[in-house]
Amino acid sequence: MIYNILTIIGGIGGFFIFGGFFIAVFGYLTNTEERQVKYKTKDGRFLGGFREETKTEYREPGFFSSQRYFPYIGMLGFKIMFIGLVLLYSTNYIVKFFNLEAEKKETVANTTTENKNPDEKKKPEEMIPVEETKMIEIFREAKSKRESIKDIYNIPKYDIEMNEEIASSIKKQFKSNSFNNWIGTLTKVENSATNNSLGFKIKLINSNVKMSNYGLFINDSEKYGIKKKSKLFEIISKLPLDSKIKLSGQFVKSELYDYISRDYGIPIILTQIEQINE
């Protein structure tokens, strides 16, 4: 807002500079009065003869002449030019001193965002929530530490510690059990023997982090399974494998270590899922 106001003032200053210049030039060019005077001179070709001539004279304008005041107009023009220069350079100085260019960039960015078509489709990776990125980073850091271990005999011991650390980090960093609009890929869908319960496995986008609602296999007694005749059961049954999806739900924090240590993925209770059309 401040940057825009200063820009307007600077523009007025530029206008004053050019306007003052033309006024000054106009005033000083009209600082004399032109008139034609007829007078007679003797003509040497004829004795006692006279010849009439016309001559243009320039003189300072008289007191009652309108042109008398043009010099003041010229000075006014120079004063306007001076005011314009002060406005222009002072606004530039203020912008640089207070770093108002940042405000300009933010304003342009906001304008660009507002002008974008809200229906314009984004790539899945452009829609990743901050919380999802945080979850992926927890697993990525643990994997990086594991790969740095040179003594292979220490890896099993570290795996236990790593899984405990991952579970602990999730509980600490995610105060809420809920997550919303996370982006992933549907990697597996499995039905129970009676087809009354459905299980799924999801991999978060651009990572190897898995999420699941069951362990080794799905059965009717699975407490996190999607029950038949539910809306979620119908939606997931129709989703093709490897499709990009957006999902919301809740973490089952009480079983984090158990699921992660067995490589089942993060245990979740699904509440919403939809396919992302690329």
Confidence of residue 66 (pLDDT cuts 50, 70, 90): very low
In this structure, is the dihedral angle defined by the CA atoms of residues 164, 170, 175 and 181, taken in order, positive or negative? Answer: negative
Q: Is the pLDDT of residue 83 over 90?
A: no
Considering only residues 126 and 164, tell me which one the structure prediction assigns the higher pLDDT: 164
Confidence of residue 144 (pLDDT cuts 50, 70, 90): confident
Most confident of 98-102, 172-176, 219-223: 172-176
**Taking phi first (over 0 means left), then psi (-120 to 50 degrees means alpha), and beta for anything else, what does residue 24 get?**
alpha
**Taking phi first (over 0 means left), then psi (-120 to 50 degrees means alpha), and beta for anything else, what does residue 106 get?**
alpha
Q: Which segments within the chain are labelled E, that is strand?
A: 33-43, 49-59, 178-191, 197-204, 210-212, 226-227, 244-251, 266-275
Model pLDDT, residue 190 = 93
Given CATH 1.10.1060.10, say whether it is the number of domain 124-275.
no
CA distances from 234 to 38, 56, 58, 195, 243 (A): 110, 103, 100, 12, 16
Average of per-residue pLDDT across 14-38: 60
Q: Is the pLDDT of residue 54 over 80?
A: no
Considering only residues 108 and 214, tell me which one the structure prediction assigns the higher pLDDT: 214
Q: Which amino acid is at 199?
A: G
Q: Is the pLDDT of residue 210 over 70?
A: yes
Contact (CB, 8 A) for 253 and 171? yes
SS3 of residue 204 by DSSP: strand
Q: Is the pLDDT of residue 171 over 90?
A: yes
CA 92 – CA 106 distance, rounded (Å): 18
Average pLDDT value for the chain: 75
